[in-house]
């Protein structure tokens, strides 16, 4: 029996079990409606927790002067506990904004103060080390007003982090992002936002990847209602909003996290060494556990229903897919690396269930897999034994660009190797291409702009000074790298905030090593608004590149036909979406009357007329305007009608061109 068949059998069996025992996945995934704390119609409170290792469970907080034992839960079957608190004069005894704790009496008799795993709002006050659980039940909650956008035909993702979205050295807010960053994203032509670090994480410098409260939107940026307004405003602009969801592991925090919730090292996680990720210093979920499945699937649904998110990027799933978690293992692409006892079938089954739930609830939702291993069938339909993701990240592409910039002179770049990296994907497996993401922006690495221009970004970006060779090279290659990645690398495109204009600083969150400084935990968008700085050129190019894709739709077109990858000339040409893309990566050679093949329709002796629709060398993009845009190019057919046309083009050095056949319908 193949792994795909086995996985599909496990998926259907688990789905059937959920149907028999929980009245279906629809009810099963609504755990947040009963677990945690809920106001009843009569003003009372219903409380429910899963703590199989506990001897006793209690609720305490401001409402009872922190008496730890005055409100005991009643023990139910399967490790569940419940409590009903009657109203006080038809009002809830626990008002909105009051602090709470779950008190656990462990089997050893230890008394533990915990935050409910289902807490909807937690916050850190003053100099407190730990987060407090705050009962969130506002009198007038925000109501989503705008409908969800339809799934984009070609997804252009702006990877975003609310906290660093201001140029000031502080944590920015949901409100700031809504008012100041969303309009920029819309103007740049991105139709999708991927929001990082929204699920609550006690350690800011973890970049949101050490989750402590899975149902709580991070309070460091504002309130849950302000996040809802952000998502709703994005929807009003026609922008799809994805959440960076972390179900691959959880923070080791116990005081304000899931770890040791019931006094045992298991509960939501595997016990013993299997429950620890040694590199990440975090806990690993027990995906075979019934209540863990309820918790994670309900978490998926919570973000869709409560906040209106349109899908998810699933972080770090390589760790989920294999028992070895990808540690100490390379992946060559040989299929024996993906099928065998090293595969965690429980985790794969969970991912299939998650994708099934998302796409059943909202068919236009988008799910993206972050997997470095290249696991086959992640993006195949579940009915075919796949995991059901819409896209996977093309993670080899940014590594290739960094390798070229670090290890090779420009004249030694291998055109065939670049094309191979950009096109090396399985048939019908949709990929999100990106030249760089947040990974390259972090301290210890460099963005493309920094690899290209380094310290000169601080001194030579003024338009009042002549181009230096370093800045000239950097600006031209920055545009070319992004365009060829956008057009050739996948069926979607991603950019990390600020990188579109070559943000001049790395990203470093406040920590002991930098004296808790926020200086590098920011994005200086104002640099693009300064007409005296060259950052505006890169910003303009990124905007026009995205808007051209919106017009012609190359991301949703079939994979490109590459007609030339010339090693000596450093020229790459290809066609996609009835556009002709020409790249000359040579650092010094320009070519007059360079013959470029095209398969555009036409019969001998008739010719086709082409015009330039994007020229990276244009003045508005910081180029040298070496081409006359008023002059069109005319192809000539070979004598045999069946053979493709060709045209003669002047191609300056370090330039990218997009040509349109004006004889074809636009």
Q: Write the pLDDT tens digit of every residue in 428-477.
A: 899 999 999 888 877 667 889 999 999 999 999 999 999 999 999 999 99
Catalytic site residue 411?
A: no
Give Cα separations from 54 to 112, 283, 495 (angstroms).
10, 19, 46
Mean pLDDT of the chain: 94
pLDDT value, residue 292: 98
Question: For residue range 612-634, what is the model confidence (pLDDT) as tens digits?
Answer: 999 999 999 999 999 988 776 76
pLDDT value, residue 7: 85
Question: For residue range 37-95, what is the model confidence (pLDDT) as tens digits?
Answer: 999 999 999 999 999 999 999 999 999 999 999 999 999 999 999 999 999 887 889 99
- Tell how strand 111-114 and strand 99-106 pair up: antiparallel
Question: For residue range 253-270, what is the model confidence (pLDDT) as tens digits?
Answer: 999 999 999 999 999 999
> CA 274 from chain center: how many Å?
27
- Pick the residue with more confidence: 580 or 661? 580
> CA 395 from chain center: how many Å?
12
Calculated CA dihedral for residues 355, 358, 361, 365, nearest 10 degrees: -120
**Please, what's the b/e burial string for 299-338 (b: 16 or more CB within 10 A of its CB; e: otherwise)?**
bbbbbbbbbbbbbbbbbbbbbbbbeebbeeeeeeeeeebb
For residues 555 and 125, what is the distance between their CA atoms, to the nearest angstrom?
Answer: 46
- Pick the residue with more confidence: 606 or 549? 549
For residues 314 and 202, what is the distance between their CA atoms, to the nearest angstrom?
Answer: 20
pLDDT value, residue 636: 62
* Confidence bin at 390 (pLDDT 50/70/90): very high
For residues 43 and 32, what is the distance between their CA atoms, to the nearest angstrom?
Answer: 18
Say yes or no: domain 35-135 is CATH 3.40.50.300: no
For residues 62 and 263, what is the distance between their CA atoms, to the nearest angstrom?
Answer: 23
Assigned fold of 561-661: Immunoglobulin-like (2.60.40)
Residue 605 has pLDDT above 70, yes or no: no
The full set of domain ranges for the chain reads: 35-135, 561-661
> Which residues, 6+ apart, have CB-to-CB distance to 621 below 8 Å?
479, 537, 538, 540, 541, 544, 615
> CA 163 from chain center: how many Å?
16
Domain 561-661 in the same topology as domain 35-135? yes
Residue 336 has pLDDT above 90, yes or no: no
Number of continuous H segments (helices) and E segments (strands) in the chain? 14, 29
Residue 604 has pLDDT above 50, yes or no: no
**CB of 270 within 8 A of CB of 227?**
no
**CB of 375 within 8 A of CB of 329?**
no
pLDDT value, residue 127: 83
pLDDT value, residue 637: 57
Catalytic site residue 370?
A: yes
What value does the mean pLDDT take over residues 210-234? 98
* Confidence bin at 299 (pLDDT 50/70/90): very high
pLDDT value, residue 644: 60
pLDDT value, residue 37: 97
- The burial of 442, by beta-carbon neighbours within 10 Å (0-12 exposed, 13-18 middle, 19 or more buried), is given as middle
Residue 635 has pLDDT above 80, yes or no: no
Residue 203 has pLDDT above 70, yes or no: yes
Q: Which of 370, 390, 429, 508 is catalytic?
A: 370
Question: For residue range 274-287, what is the model confidence (pLDDT) as tens digits?
Answer: 999 999 999 999 99
Name all contacts of 632-637 with Cβ < 8 Å and 24+ positions apart: 632/662, 633/609, 633/659, 634/607, 634/608, 634/609, 634/610, 635/598, 635/600, 635/602, 635/607, 635/608, 635/609, 635/610, 636/607, 637/602, 637/603, 637/604, 637/605, 637/606, 637/607
pLDDT value, residue 330: 83
What value does the mean pLDDT take over residues 200-210? 94
**CB of 182 within 8 A of CB of 238?**
no
> CA 372 from chain center: how many Å?
14
Question: For residue range 86-123, what is the model confidence (pLDDT) as tens digits?
Answer: 998 878 899 999 999 999 999 999 999 999 999 999 99
For a pLDDT cut of 70, what percent of the chain falls above it?
96
How many other CB atoms sit within 10 Å of the CB of residue 289? 19
Q: Which of 229, 244, 315, 508 is catalytic?
A: 315
Question: For residue range 516-566, what is the model confidence (pLDDT) as tens digits?
Answer: 899 889 999 999 999 999 999 999 999 999 999 999 999 999 999 999 999
Question: For residue range 343-372, what is the model confidence (pLDDT) as tens digits?
Answer: 999 999 999 999 999 999 999 999 999 999
Largest CA distance in the chain: 94
* Confidence bin at 638 (pLDDT 50/70/90): low
pLDDT value, residue 513: 85
Closest of 188, 184, 204 to residue 196, by C-alpha = 204
Residue 603 has pLDDT above 90, yes or no: no
């Amino acid at each position: 029996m193949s792994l795909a068949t086995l996985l599909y059998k496990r998926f259907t069996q688990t789905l059937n079990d959920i149907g028999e025992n929980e009245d279906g996945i629809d009810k099963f995934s609504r755990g947040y409606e009963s677990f945690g704390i809920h106001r009843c119609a009569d003003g009372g409170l219903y409380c429910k927790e899963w703590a199989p290792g506990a001897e006793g469970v209690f609720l305490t907080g401001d409402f009872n002067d922190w008496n730890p034992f005055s409100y005991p839960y009643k023990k139910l079957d399967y490790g569940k506990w419940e409590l009903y608190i009657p109203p006080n004069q038809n009002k809830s005894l626990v008002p909105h904004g009051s602090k709470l704790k779950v008190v656990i009496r462990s089997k050893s008799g230890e008394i533990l103060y915990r935050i409910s795993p289902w807490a909807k709002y937690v916050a850190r006050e003053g100099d407190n080390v730990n987060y407090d659980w705050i009962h969130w039940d506002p009198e007038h909650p925000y109501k989503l007003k705008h409908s969800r956008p339809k799934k984009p035909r070609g997804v252009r993702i702006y990877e975003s982090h609310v906290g660093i979205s201001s140029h000031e050295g502080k944590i920015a807010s949901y409100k700031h992002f809504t008012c100041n960053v969303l309009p920029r994203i819309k103007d740049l032509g991105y139709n999708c936002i991927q929001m990082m670090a929204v699920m609550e994480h006690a350690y800011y410098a973890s970049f949101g990847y050490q989750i402590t409260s899975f149902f709580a939107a991070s309070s460091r940026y504002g309130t849950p209602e302000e996040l809802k307004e952000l998502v709703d405003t994005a929807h009003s602009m026609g922008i799809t909003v994805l959440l960076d969801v972390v179900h691959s592991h959880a923070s080791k925090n116990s005081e304000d996290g899931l770890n040791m919730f019931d006094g045992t090292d298991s509960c939501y996680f595997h016990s013993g060494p299997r429950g620890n990720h040694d590199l990440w210093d975090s806990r690993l979920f027990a995906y075979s556990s019934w209540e863990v499945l309820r918790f994670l699937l309900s978490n998926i649904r919570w973000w869709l229903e409560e906040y209106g998110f349109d899908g998810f990027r699933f972080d770090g799933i390589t760790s989920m897919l294999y028992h070895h978690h990808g540690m100490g293992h390379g992946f060559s692409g040989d299929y024996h690396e993906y099928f065998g006892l090293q595969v965690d079938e429980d985790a794969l089954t969970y991912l299939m269930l998650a994708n099934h739930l998302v796409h059943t609830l909202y068919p236009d939702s988008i799910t993206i897999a972050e997997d470095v291993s290249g696991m086959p069938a992640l993006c195949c339909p579940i009915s075919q034994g796949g995991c059901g993701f819409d896209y996977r990240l093309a993670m080899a592409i940014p590594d290739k660009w960094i390798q070229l910039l670090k290890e090779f002179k420009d004249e030694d770049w291998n055109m065939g190797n670049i094309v191979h990296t950009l096109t090396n994907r399985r048939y019908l497996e949709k990929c999100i291409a990106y030249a760089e993401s947040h990974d390259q922006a972090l301290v210890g690495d460099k963005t493309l702009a920094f690899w290209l221009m380094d310290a000169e970004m601080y001194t030579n970006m003024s338009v009042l000074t002549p181009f230096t060779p370093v800045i000239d090279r950097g600006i031209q290659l920055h545009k070319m790298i992004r365009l060829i990645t956008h057009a050739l690398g996948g069926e979607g495109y991603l950019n990390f905030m600020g990188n579109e204009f070559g943000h001049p600083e790395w990203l470093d969150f406040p920590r002991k090593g930098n004296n808790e400084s926020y200086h590098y935990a920011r994005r200086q968008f104002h640099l693009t608004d300064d007409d005296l700085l060259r950052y505006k050129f890169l910003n303009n190019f990124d905007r026009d590149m995205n808007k051209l894709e919106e017009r012609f739709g190359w991301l949703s077109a079939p994979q490109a036909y590459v007609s030339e990858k010339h090693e000596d000339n450093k020229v790459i040409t290809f066609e996609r979406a009835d556009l002709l893309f020409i790249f000359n990566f040579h650092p010094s050679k320009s070519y007059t009357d360079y013959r470029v093949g095209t398969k555009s329709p036409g019969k001998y002796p008739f010719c086709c007329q082409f015009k330039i629709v994007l020229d990276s060398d244009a003045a508005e993009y910081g180029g040298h305007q070496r081409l006359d845009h008023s002059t069109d190019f005319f192809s000539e057919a070979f004598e045999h009608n069946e053979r493709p046309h060709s045209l003669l083009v002047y191609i300056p050095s370090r330039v990218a061109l997009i040509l349109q056949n004006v004889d074809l319908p636009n």
